[in-house]
Amino acid sequence: CFLSLQKREISNFDYLMYLNTLAGRSYNDYMQYPVFPWVLADYHSKTLNLNNPHTFRDLSKPMGAQTVERKHKFIQRFNEVEKNLSAQCHYCTHYSSAIIVASYLVRMEPFTQTFCSLQGGSFDVADRMFHSVKSTWESASRDNMSDVRELIPEFFYLPEFLTNANHFELGCMQDGTVLGDVQLPPWADGDPHKFILLHRQALESDYVSAHLHRWIDLIFGYKQHGSAAVEAVNTYHPYFYGDKVDLNNIKDPLIKSTILGFISNFGQIPKQV
């Protein structure tokens, strides 16, 4: 399959779906939903230049290391945790979880009800809802130390999830903005179909094709855990590594329940492929 990718016999999208399937990810499980990368870093230009390397996200680094300042903060956290003898990791949140999937797809059923169920029966505070591609990128790549989320496959083929066709009352932000359709980058001209088209072109671009293997190493490969992950600033809370936690040897039902709840709510590292 990798040789087919190198020869351009299959698309980057199809290859990523193949890897997700091998790693145990499935559309049928919100906790192990297929994970896709942010591929762009330009959500402000009027036109999208796919020939400019600066248009793209650095695929060799996890979302927590997209800026030098942010990377250093997570390294500092890692070192401080070591001193405190707590669970040592760079990130206490995950790049893919049930709530992240449901928040992206909240404007479509059955994900609307799933999201509300995970939130205790109602929508979240409007300012925390997924409402803008640009602000979500800025949060996950720069601004929010508890946000390292990646994307889901729908960002590359499903324009409907970006519109509030069901007219759900999603609330009003503090600045007075009433939530409706997802705010798109200027280069999409307010058209979800154009956004998906250009976003898919970005995924299949020469730049992403040349660098995608670096992201795959982080999510599915050898930089997933161990010393390589530490060096890559890519370690997560131990409970996220589901195959590393032997629940059968945990006798305390409260501890076991806590670990299961943690994995269910906050995400799970894919199986290494």
pLDDT at 6: 57
Question: Does residue 272 belong to any structural domain of this protein?
Answer: no
Q: One digit per residue, pLDDT tens: the chain, 273 residues?
A: 555 555 667 999 999 999 999 999 999 999 899 999 999 999 999 999 999 999 999 999 999 999 999 999 999 999 987 555 467 899 989 999 999 999 999 999 999 999 999 888 888 888 899 999 999 999 999 999 999 999 999 999 999 999 999 999 999 999 999 999 999 999 999 999 999 999 999 999 999 999 999 999 999 999 999 999 999 999 998 888 866 666 666 777 777 677 666 666 677 899 998
Question: Does residue 273 belong to any structural domain of this protein?
Answer: no
How many residues appear in the chain?
A: 273
Q: Count how many Cα atoms sit within 13 Å of the Cα of residue 80 in the half-sphere of its side chain.
A: 8
Question: Does residue 173 belong to any structural domain of this protein?
Answer: yes
Please state the separation of Cα 265 from the chain's center in Å.
14
Question: Does residue 271 belong to any structural domain of this protein?
Answer: no
Predicted TM-score (pTM) of this structure: 0.90
pLDDT at 126: 87
Distances (CA, A) of 125 to 31, 104, 116, 215: 22, 15, 12, 32
Question: Does residue 144 belong to any structural domain of this protein?
Answer: yes
For residue 166, the domain's CATH number is 1.10.1540.10
Question: Does residue 233 belong to any structural domain of this protein?
Answer: yes
Instruction: Identify which of 36, 42, 35, 37 has the alpha carbon closest to the alpha carbon of residue 134.
Output: 42
pLDDT at 85: 46
Residues spanned by the domain of 223:
1-266
Instruction: Identify which of 97, 57, 70, 89 has the alpha carbon closest to the alpha carbon of residue 212.
Output: 57
Instruction: Identify which of 183, 218, 180, 220 has the alpha carbon closest to the alpha carbon of residue 59.
Output: 218
Q: How many domains does the chain have?
A: 1
pLDDT at 5: 58
